Amino acid sequence: MVEDYEWPSDGELVIGHVKSVKDFGAFLELEEYDNKEGFIHISEISSGWVKRIKDYIREGEKRVCKVLNVDRSKGHIDLSLKQVNEHQKRDKIQAWKNQKKAEKLLQIVADELDWDLDRCYDEFGLELSEEFGSLYQAFEEVTIHPDILENKGFKGKWIEHFIEVAKDNITPPYINISGYIELTSPNPAGIEDIRYALSAFENTENAKIDVDYIASPKYRVDIQSDDYKVAEETFKKQAKKAVDKIEEKGGKGKFYREKE
């Protein structure tokens, strides 16, 4: 696997397959490290008192653990279960799933090139992982910016196959931001003035816009885009236009990214 190294590092989160559970602790195989064996002492199972270890961990489970210590000379890897919070657990599991998916997609690329998987790693897989942070991130980035590989200096006939496989199998990621705008009008037809001002918010080629009423005079603006800077700039540009529109009618307006 592209992210695999010979040994994990202290403090790293790893995926372990529980092979056996004893009274004093549990033994796990680390799937990301060629099934090297790791050990969780009973004191690292839970923050509370553990009367019966099998109430907390069972054979056959996959668990996210934190690496406490690695002794390469003895082949020992000490792990902790209790030092992993729910947020870390979710993120690690998702990253592991993404890694597995990326490996399958790379195999498709290899098949189309009539190469073996090792050659794909040697030719471009390892370099992509280093450049983008992970192989899956490389596939993801290509679905958004197909020219990114060539722009970063990558070359070879594999590029067109990589892009094709990415587009066929990866849903482009999107980010969401929210901003707020307050609009008031002293006119009898103030509601119409506000509607006129809110017409400044509209979908663009690179962003989807939704405006929701919160409470007078406040509205929330939700923006979805594949680029954070685009989302930010779109909000500022359209919100300023909305303020200009309400001021044109004699009203007042202001906008901001966080609730005041």
With CA atoms as reference, report the closest residue to 152 among 161, 136, 168, 141. 141
pLDDT at position 5, please? 57
List, in sequence order, every beta strand (DSSP E) within 161-233: 175-184, 207-215, 218-225
> In whole angstroms, what is the distance from residue 86 CA to residue 76 CA?
26
Per the CB < 8 A criterion, the answer to whether 243 and 182 are in contact is no
Q: Is 37 exposed, middle or buried (0-12, 13-18, 19+ CB in 10 A)?
A: middle
In the chain the domains, ranked by start, together with CATH numbers, are 13-83 (2.40.50.140), 87-169 (1.10.150.190), 175-256 (3.30.70.1130)
Average pLDDT over residues 36-56: 95
Instruction: Give me the pLDDT at residue 2, please.
Output: 40
Rounded to 5 degrees, φ, ψ at 232 are -60, -50
pLDDT band at 173 (very low <50, low <70, confident <90, very high): confident
What's the half-sphere exposure (Cβ side, CA atoms, 13 Å) at 136? 17
Pairing state of beta strands 13-21 and 25-30? antiparallel
pLDDT in tens, 104-156: 999 999 999 999 999 999 999 999 999 998 999 999 889 888 999 999 999 99
Taking residue 246's Cβ as centre, other Cβ atoms within 10 Å add up to 25
Convert the pLDDT of each residue in 55-105 to its tens digit.
Answer: 999 999 999 999 999 999 999 999 999 999 999 999 899 999 999 999 999
d(CA 182, CA 218): 4
Mean pLDDT of the chain: 92
Residue 2 near residue 32, CB atoms below 8 Å = no
Q: Kindly state the tokens that stand for 66.
A: 């934190």
State yes or no: pLDDT of 260 exceeds 50.
Answer: no
d(CA 36, CA 150): 38
3-state secondary structure 78-94: EEECCCCCHHHHHHHHH
For 63, list phi and psi in degrees, rounded to 5.
Answer: -130, 150
Distance CA 50, CA 22 (A): 13
Q: Where does the pLDDT of residue 256 fall: very low under 50, low under 70, confident under 90, or very high at 90 and above?
A: very high
The whole-number average pLDDT for the span 18-43 is 95
- pTM of the entire predicted model: 0.61
Separation CA 108–CA 94 (nearest Å): 21
Give the number of other CB atoms < 10 A from CB of residue 114: 7
**The one-letter amino acid at 77:** I
Contact status, residue 95 vs residue 42, Cβ threshold 8 Å: no
